[in-house]
Amino acid sequence: MCNFTGVNRIETPDFAAIAAKGFRDQGEFRLFRKNGDVRAKAMQFVYSGKETLAQLSPGKNTITIGGEGENEWAVLPDECTLSVVKPAGGRVVVLSGEEEPELLYDSITDSGNIGVPGGALLFLAADPGDFFEITVR
10-residue mean pLDDT profile of the chain (137 residues): values are 65 78 74 84 79 88 88 90 95 89 94 91 96 95
Task: Return phi, psi of residue 3, to 5°.
Answer: -95, 5
pLDDT tens sequence across 7-46: 777 788 778 777 777 666 677 788 888 888 888 888 778 8
Which residue from 29, 39, 35 is spatially nearest to 8, judged by alpha carbons?
Answer: 29
Q: Are 4 and 13 in contact (CB under 8 A)?
A: no
1 contact partners, CB below 8 Å, separation of at least 6: none
Burial (CB count within 10 angstroms: exposed 0-12, middle 13-18, buried 19+), residue 4:
middle
pLDDT given at position 45: 80
Would residue 3 count as lying in a domain? no
Co-location of 81 and 26 in the same domain:
no
User: What is the model's pTM?
Assistant: 0.76
Instruction: For residues 109 and 61, state if they share a domain.
Output: yes
* Domain containing residue 31: 8-49
Instruction: Look at residue 1 in the predicted model and tell me its pLDDT.
Output: 46
